[in-house]
Structure 1
Amino acid sequence: MSLKITEDCINCDVCEPECPNGAISQGEEIYVIDPNLCTECVGHYDEPQCQQVCPVDCIPLDTENVESKEKLHEKYLRISGQA
């Protein structure tokens, strides 16, 4: 699965620079995560970095974008130009 940012986001700006895939950007009101770029940090880190730094714990799994660890790894390989 990719991750998503909920309405609890306080726009603190700490998650965006932590994303190794550039999946996080400022939306109209809060930060958003592009599910086409989010790999839950698979290929980079053991844990999603945005979740680790979020002070309000507003970045859950996105149940609308279900992907296995294998699919996330394949996406990482495509994004990083290794596939």
Structure 2
Amino acid sequence: MAKRKAVVGKQCVACGSCVIICPKQAIFVYKGTKAVVDYDKCVGCGLCQKACPAGIINVEENFQNRR
């Protein structure tokens, strides 16, 4: 089974749109600088990707954990 996870790009402006829309509370804004995904909580639904006004969140298929 493929693992789908949200990945936030480096150009994140920390607007918080993804934080608000995430049904699993898997995203938080780190020190007001960038959205960070808790990969243990993320279910890859794609709502954050749709909500991102900058278009820099991508939901990746076959995600490899980047810790």
TM-score scaled by length of structure 2: 0.75
Aligned-pair CA distance for 1:61: 3.0
Between Structure 1 and Structure 2, whose CA radius of gyration is higher? Answer: 1
Q: Which has the higher helix share?
A: 1
Counterpart of 1:25?
A: 28
Q: Supply the RMSD in Å over aligned alpha carbons.
A: 1.5
Structure 2: 5+ residue stretches without partners: none
TM-score scaled by length of structure 1: 0.62
Counterpart of 2:10?
A: 7
Higher RCO, 1 vs 2 (CA within 8 Å, ≥6 residues apart): 2
Q: Is the 8 A contact 2:24 2:42 kept in 1?
A: yes
The number of equivalent residue pairs is 59
Aligned-pair CA distance for 1:49: 1.0
Structure 1: 5+ residue stretches without partners: 42-47, 66-83
Q: Which has the higher strand share?
A: 2
The SS at the match of 1:57 is: coil
